[in-house]
Amino acid sequence: EVVLTQSPGTLSLFPGERATLSCRASQSLDGTYLAWYQQKPGQAPRLLISGASRRATGIPDRFSCSGSGTDFSLSISRVEPEDFAVYYCQLRNFGQGTRLEIK
Amino acid sequence: EVQLVQSETEMKKPGESLRISCQASGYTFKNYWIGWVRQRPGKGLEWMGVIYPGDSDTRYSTSLQGQVTMSVDTSINTAYLQWHSLRASDSGMYYCARRFDSTYNWFDPWGQGTLVTVSS
């Protein structure tokens, strides 16, 4: 079973900065099977990006993802105040999450 | 609009049984897998398993096999997650979500979650 490891555990940034969140797989995988979610406190997770690069409905284009093999990443070009949340990658199981917090 | 609405918060004692529900609307319920995801307090997301309402085909997480039962009632477009004997470690938030299809595992949309607290 593929294990996904996300890093860093916590990322502290100022609004307007670029965020790069990593998701590393324990074995090479087809990135089209990977998805990313955002979860804000007290809310259910929300699908951000699926199939390696397809943004879900309503997700702004400042969110993008890239990667291949075992290394994948979610980028936020310029972090907005509403982007501070926890982010998860998923193949079937989920990574442990990265918390994006305001610096 | 595709929507999943889950049952309300539950407070139970160890050893009790419980069934929580997830009612779907806005699409053909039988055609899409429904998944269940657990989130213990302050922790990450844990994939529990999926069920296909069309034929009740079910896939459980290896770690949860035998501890929970997933089922559906297609007459009312509802999926269920059931415990026969709760433990304190079952406490957490439980989400249902619609799986994209039989090939891709991503979930969209999600229910609002059902909080389960098991305490003596």
Question: Model confidence over B88-108: pLDDT tens digits?
Answer: 999 999 999 999 888 899 999
pLDDT at B58: 96
For residue range A38-91, what is the model confidence (pLDDT) as tens digits?
Answer: 999 999 999 999 986 899 999 999 999 999 999 999 999 999 999 999 999 999
- Cβ contact, residue pair B45, A88, below 8 Å: yes
Between residues 13 and 52 of chain A, which touch chain B (CB distance below 8 Å)? 32-33, 35, 37, 39, 44-47, 50-51
Residue of A nearest to B59 (CA): A92
pLDDT at B91: 98
pLDDT at B20: 98
CA atoms of B111 and B88, how far apart (whole Å) = 23
For residue B55, pLDDT beyond 80: yes
Whole-number percent of chain B with pLDDT over 70:
100
DSSP state, residue B74: G
Cα distances (angstroms) measured from residue A12 to each of A20, A26, A83: 11, 26, 12
Task: Decide if A87 touches B, using CB distance below 8 A.
Answer: no
User: Where is pLDDT greater, at B103 or B84?
Assistant: B84
Rounded mean pLDDT of B78-94? 97
pLDDT at B101: 84
Here the tokens at position A102 are 């305001």
Here the tokens at position B25 are 């609307």
Residue of B nearest to A47 (CA): B108
Residues B3, B110: contact at Cβ < 8 Å? no
Residue of B nearest to A99 (CA): B44
DSSP state, residue B84: S
Between residues 64 and 93 of chain B, which touch chain A (CB distance below 8 Å)? none
Rg over alpha carbons for chain A, rounded to the nearest Å, is 13
| Nearest-CB residue to B45 (from A33, A45, A50) | A45
CA atoms of A88 and B98, how far apart (whole Å) = 17
For residue B66, pLDDT beyond 90: no
Task: Decide if B106 touches A, using CB distance below 8 A.
Answer: yes
Here the tokens at position B44 are 């990450």
> What secondary structure, in 3-state letters, does chain A show?
CCCEEEECCEEEECCCCCEEEEEEEEEEECHHHCEEEEECCCCCCEEEEECCCEECCCCCCCEEEEEEEEEEEEEECCCCHHHCCEEEEECCCECCCEEEEEC
> Which of B45, B65, B93, B101 best probes binding to A when mutated, by most A CB atoms within 10 angstroms?
B45
Residues B92, B40: contact at Cβ < 8 Å? yes
